[in-house]
Structure 1
Amino acid sequence: MPRPSGDSPLPTAEKPAAPAAASGLHPSLFILNWILFSNATILFNKWLLDTAGFPIILTCWHLIFATAATQILARTTSLLESRKSLPINGRMYLRTIVPIGVLYTGSLVFSNLVYLYLSVAFTQMLKAGSPVAVLFTSWAFRVAEPNLAKFLNILVIVVGVAVASFGEINFSLIGFTYQMLGIVFEAVRLIMIQVMLTAEGMKMDPLVALYYYAPVCAFFNIFVALFTEASTFKYEDLVNTGFTVLFLNASVAFMLNIASVFLIGKTSGLVLTLTGILKAILLVAVSVVIWKTPITLLQAFGYGIALLGLSYYSLGYDNVVKVYNNSTAYISATMNSYGAVPGSADGVRGGLLTKRYIVLGSAVFGFLFVMAVLFMWVNSVPTTIPVTSLGTN
């Protein structure tokens, strides 16, 4: 399920039918909706943690809110109807949901702690290495057989992340360690889901998963908070942050799960993968603007290598060839449209293609231009400006 912190992988769970109310909308709207809430959740959490601190208590609040919200939705809507087909009893709950919930708690805690020490941009660069941990974990649990081709592809991602880390100006070993622990916990959690649930034919969409996992994670997060942040947390911290702000923050995090449910089944796996990569790039760009995070050329180069390796690993050779062939076909159609007879069917269709790809090309060029300007502007800011504040009281 998408994590309350917003650092979620793309929703690639079981693909249920899309809610009827949304069946007539274009898939691009669901993609934009998911990108909006995913990135908004991360940016909102980063700002809140820099302002108030207490990442574990904030996670507890998200999970308590999600528990209450899913219980209400289960009783008032049909969004969680698929849960009734799952053969979950008390024994299975203790054997599967609880252990996975413990792993998920570790993933949440470490993933939120990292924002006290690292910038959003660098955190996203490190997260590009998540498939490495998932692959090695799958080999360790013998869910998948070791494969030399995959190993070599994974090495490209590792090299990219290593180069990006080497180029990070405000590097924090504590933050880096927290991020690595969060990635490891998440990798083990994903493999345990595959071993314990998927093997028994139990598939959950993100909202149903939240329905089952949120109470367990809330319990364990509260337990962790009692031994870490509870002793320094005061009621004044709650008042200073604001009840309205906390409610909005939890609402945005929960809406990410709703957006994931509506997104599943509306697009192909290829589009979902590309959407996740685009979302990460946009998040890096926006966070750089907001916090004026200094980015070096070496860091950008390393992130680019990691993204290329991640794209190839996630899509596979066949899909990469498919994307390349479609792109060349579009370019060829655009060029050929200039030779069509005006007013003919080919001419009209060619004209529409020409306009479409002129707009697309302009958008791509504009995006690259904006990124170049941001790079030059951010690197003109003195590097003594702190990227994050610890936000502890």
Structure 2
Amino acid sequence: MGKGLGVSGSLFQKIVISYTYVAIWIFLSFTVIIFNKYILDKKMYNWPFPVSLTMIHMGFCSSLAFLLVRVFKFVEPVAMTRELYMSSVVPIGALFSLSLWFSNSAYIYLSVSFIQMLKALMPVAVYSIGVLFKRETFKSQTMANMVGISVGVAIAAYGEAKFDAWGVILQLGAVGFEATRLVLIQILLTSKGISLNPITSLYYVAPCCFVFLSIPWVLIEYPQLAAKATGTADYDFVVFGMNSACAFALNLSVFLLVGKTSALTMNVAGVVKDWLLIAFSWSVIMDRVTTINLVGYGIAFLAVCYYNHAKLQGMKAKEAQKKASQTDEEIGLLEKNQIRDDDGLGRKADSQA
């Protein structure tokens, strides 16, 4: 009985720890999104320089990642040759910088709630690009699911009270770049047996992003910042320091969440976070959320849930097939050994006779 209580207590402890990781990730992701919106929105902090903000994040994350990897030895760096870095990390870094730049820019033009609705298109983009790069198999059922997500998002966009075409283009561009980055990670790194956790990802990718972002910064934002250096573009070190620290902490929480739970848990947590952001955007920021918005996002939400469920079932089927294959190999090996043993016994009996 004591043993049963011990097992039950251990299971309860694991559940509590898992939910704690989920809560931390939701809180930090929620905080970073609202914080970025606060800084970039012209009606709030009024610092509409998304490239500069993203560069601050990348510079901060690069510095801390260097300390954690090289100085404190918190994680070990991976074997990274110059050729591999140029052929794999640089393209991924370029796409990541574009994704961050475009997504942060969208906060200037769109509400937080509508941006979360547009982000529901991520599975559509990842699947479509995966099919294009032959990482995914085209299936009519899955494509129908993708159409369902797209229709839901289109309805939500139709019902958006403050629709801004340029903001939508920026956010859709961010989704496209991020989806391409995720697919390229599978092609350029994972297929070569290289796995980067969030800290080593920042260690290798963040400096690359910083360099890429410096190009649009010099061309677009530096002249504006220089012109406003007389006082209309004040830089608050406390605000931007806290914002950068939150962005870095979010990456660490991803490391904990994925490492200690599962990808499915993260997907479910992401859905909870999206609904919380929509509710916060409506009730606190006072963004207008229409009934058509909610109906459209509800359709997209159900389609995304079905897609995640189908992926989970597919993963379970592959795992079961893998175990069955291993079992068949083990049975075959045992039968082969048994035949050898029987043959050996038969020879021994013949020699004794």
TM-score by length of 1: 0.72
Where in structure 2 are the equivalents of 1:1-393 lying within 5 Å?
26-50=17-41, 51-81=46-76, 83=77, 86-234=78-226, 235-236=229-230, 240-316=234-310
Task: Give, in whole Å, the separation in 2 of the partners of 1:130 and 1:99.
Answer: 20
Amino acid at match of 2:164: S
| 3-state SS of 1:132 partner | helix
**Any idea what the Cα deviations from partners look like across 1:234-285, whole Å, max 9, x if unmatched?**
4456972411111111111111011111222222333222111111111111
Task: Give, in whole Å, the separation in 2 of the partners of 1:110 and 1:268.
Answer: 29
| Equivalent in the alignment of 2:8 | none
**Any idea what the Cα deviations from partners look like across 1:105-139, whole Å, max 9, x if unmatched?**
11111111111100010000000011111111111
Task: Specify which structure has the higher proportion of helix.
Answer: 2
| 3-state SS of 1:145 partner | coil
- Higher-Rg structure is 2
Decide whether the 8 Å contact of 1:273 with 1:315 is kept in 2.
no
**Any idea what the Cα deviations from partners look like across 1:362-392, whole Å, max 9, x if unmatched?**
xxxxxxxxxxxxxxxxxxxxxxxxxxxxxxx
List, as ranges, runs of 4+ consecutive aligned residues in structure 1 with deviation greater than 6 Å: 22-25
Number of aligned residue pairs: give it: 297
> What is the CA distance between 1:211 and its match in structure 2?
1.1
Decide whether the 8 Å contact of 1:101 with 1:217 is kept in 2.
yes
What's the Cα RMSD here?
2.1
> What is the CA distance between 1:180 and its match in structure 2?
1.0
Q: Kindly tell me: are residues 139 and 251 of structure 1, through their superposed partners in 2, closer, same or farther at Cα, counting changes over 3 Å?
A: same
> What is the CA distance between 1:172 and its match in structure 2?
0.3
Decide whether the 8 Å contact of 1:52 with 1:237 is kept in 2.
no
Task: Give, in whole Å, the separation in 2 of the partners of 1:179 and 1:318.
Answer: 28
Q: Kindly tell me: are residues 243 and 161 of structure 1, through their superposed partners in 2, closer, same or farther at Cα, counting changes over 3 Å?
A: same
| Equivalent in the alignment of 2:344 | none
Unpaired segments ≥5 residues, structure 2: 1-12, 317-353
Task: Give, in whole Å, the separation in 2 of the partners of 1:31 and 1:78.
Answer: 26
Task: Give, in whole Å, the separation in 1 of the partners of 2:82 and 2:312.
Answer: 44
**Any idea what the Cα deviations from partners look like across 1:155-186, whole Å, max 9, x if unmatched?**
11011100000000100000011111111111
**Any idea what the Cα deviations from partners look like across 1:328-357, whole Å, max 9, x if unmatched?**
xxxxxxxxxxxxxxxxxxxxxxxxxxxxxx
Bigger Cα displacement from structure 2, 137-146 vs 40-49:
137-146
Decide whether the 8 Å contact of 1:270 with 1:319 is kept in 2.
no
> What is the CA distance between 1:141 and its match in structure 2?
0.9
Q: Kindly tell me: are residues 166 and 46 of structure 1, through their superposed partners in 2, closer, same or farther at Cα, counting changes over 3 Å?
A: same
Unpaired segments ≥5 residues, structure 1: 1-21, 323-393
> What is the CA distance between 1:314 and its match in structure 2?
1.6
Amino acid at match of 1:217: C
TM-score by length of 2: 0.80
